[in-house]
Amino acid sequence: MTISIFSKLIKANEKDDVIDLKAIANTLAVQIKLDKNLADHCHIFLDTDAVVTIKLNASLTNSMKKTYVAIALAEFLLTPERISTKGITYDMFFLKELYRERHSSRMLLATRLVLPETIIHDIIDGNIQPEIHAEKIGYEREFVKNVVKHDSALFLIENFSQ
């Protein structure tokens, strides 16, 4: 099996029980900015200098900011054309809908941009409590609770970027 760009990127930034999401964003030349005037929670777009930018509402908790960055990066990797046109905005209701999204390509990739497969398997097998692990690594509980051990996630990561 060939290893995709996604797999290489994830593996290169794996540290113990978490993936270094900031390093992934830096590798992809994605800027992350806080905006105290942003009405929504998160907006990913192509700025006037053609730089992919993730703006986060400055009033969000750190765990919300990190969760939105993971989701926005996954969206950028999967559908860059959506970012280059009008961008994507996530409002205050988005995180409440994560459970329904857990099998989507965006969520499958977003969780893998944050958690190594071994941790995902441990969460699903009941060896790790997702709420405790979410607090440990600084992500939203609902985000980590909704990881899916799914063959299509590996298919997505291995083959989508090729």
Residue 84 — pLDDT band, cuts 50, 70, 90? confident
Residue 155 — pLDDT band, cuts 50, 70, 90? low
Residue 161 — pLDDT band, cuts 50, 70, 90? very low
Per the document, the length of the chain is 162
Query: Phi/psi class of residue 100: alpha, beta or left (left: φ > 0; alpha: ψ in -120 to 50)?
Result: alpha
Sheet holding 42-46, edge to edge: 31-35, 52-57, 42-46, 88-90
Q: Is the pLDDT of residue 28 over 80?
A: yes
Residue ranges of the domains in the chain? 5-159
Residue 146 — pLDDT band, cuts 50, 70, 90? confident
pTM over 0.95: no
State the amino acid at position 110 in one-letter form: A
Of residues 142 and 7, which shows the higher confidence score?
142
Contact, 54 vs 33, CB < 8 A?
Answer: yes
